[in-house]
Amino acid sequence: MRLTFCPFSLGVFVGSAYLMTLKLRREEHEKALLSALPSCQVVFVLGGPGAGKGTQCQLLSERLPGWAHLSAGDLLRAERKKGGELGDLINEKIANGQLVPSEVTCKLIENAMEDAYKEHGIDKFLIDGFPRSIGNADAWKTTMSRHQEKLVLCFECPEEVLVGRLLERGKTSGRNDDTVEVIRKRFQTYRDEEGPIVALYEKEGKVRKIASDRSVEDIYKDTSLLIQNC
Ligand code: C5P
Ligand code: MG
């Protein structure tokens, strides 16, 4: 068989390869755009242990379209499950009612935001239990300052009510920090660390305080209005 050189076929081949490369590049570019987390709206949700942060955030994310709930505590517990050195460190801190190093918690939140954006296009987040200290807030500012901090909701409830709720929850939660001893330490951490961070956000006019020794639905009425108007 004799092969003949055909300039036309060569042109078609080179042209197709070029178009194919352009198409692949465009697809890669679109993929990269989709995976890059844009500037998101965030609402931080604070309050003592047992104040109802998780319950309210859950309801808000179910009933208000577009908002997702991320719990710093839940993310840490999920990471702890994976074990290893990081899992051990997280467990040690949780079991002692202390805070996990801020960079760890902040990174887990960032990863969870990226996943929610990539998978569901979500760009509005209720972040429960963060920032719980000046260190948490500093870590956030270092890597996440492009996001818009819309509000800081603070659930307020007398400590004796909270202790009662946690002990009740401890009967079924399976959490190793819902015990009298660790609860006491968690409150100490809360008093030491969370007061200064709330004061900081108060100066920025972002704090909204909500009495949370009321029924879930009454609290929800107030929180949902705040979120809808933020
Ligand atoms: O908010 P939650 O009660 O689920 O938090 C449980 C524990 O997770 C805290 O007592 C603390 O040890 C850890 N945590 C943390 N930093 C945060 C939030 C939670 O170290 N910002
Ligand atoms: Mg919680």
Q: Output the pTM of the full model.
A: 0.86
**Mean pLDDT of successive 10-residue stretches along the chain, which has 230 residues:** 66 72 66 75 97 97 97 98 98 98 98 96 98 97 96 97 95 94 96 94 97 97 96
Q: Given this model, what pLDDT does residue 229 score?
A: 92
Which domains does the chain show, CATH number per domain?
Answer: 41-65+123-228 (3.40.50.300)
Which pLDDT belongs to residue 9?
73
Residue 200: the pLDDT is 94
- The reply to whether ligand 1 has any atom less than 6 angstroms from the CB of 124 is no
Q: Could you tell me the distance, in angstroms and rounded to a whole number, from the CA of residue 120 to the centre of ligand 1?
A: 26
| Closest ligand 1 atom to 189 CA | 10
Q: Which two tokens stand for residue 185?
A: 């330490």
In the structure, ligand 2 is a single-atom ion and the residues with CB under 5 Å from it are 54, 73
- For residue 72, the ligand 1 atom closest to its alpha carbon is 18
3-state secondary structure of 55: helix
Residue 99 Cα: closest atom of ligand 1: 20
User: Exposure of 105 by Cβ count < 10 A (0-12 exposed, 13-18 middle, 19+ buried)?
Assistant: buried
Amino acid letter for position 168: E
Ligand 1 and 94: CB distance under 6 A: yes
Are β-strands 67-71 and 124-128 bridged in parallel, bridged antiparallel, or unpaired? parallel
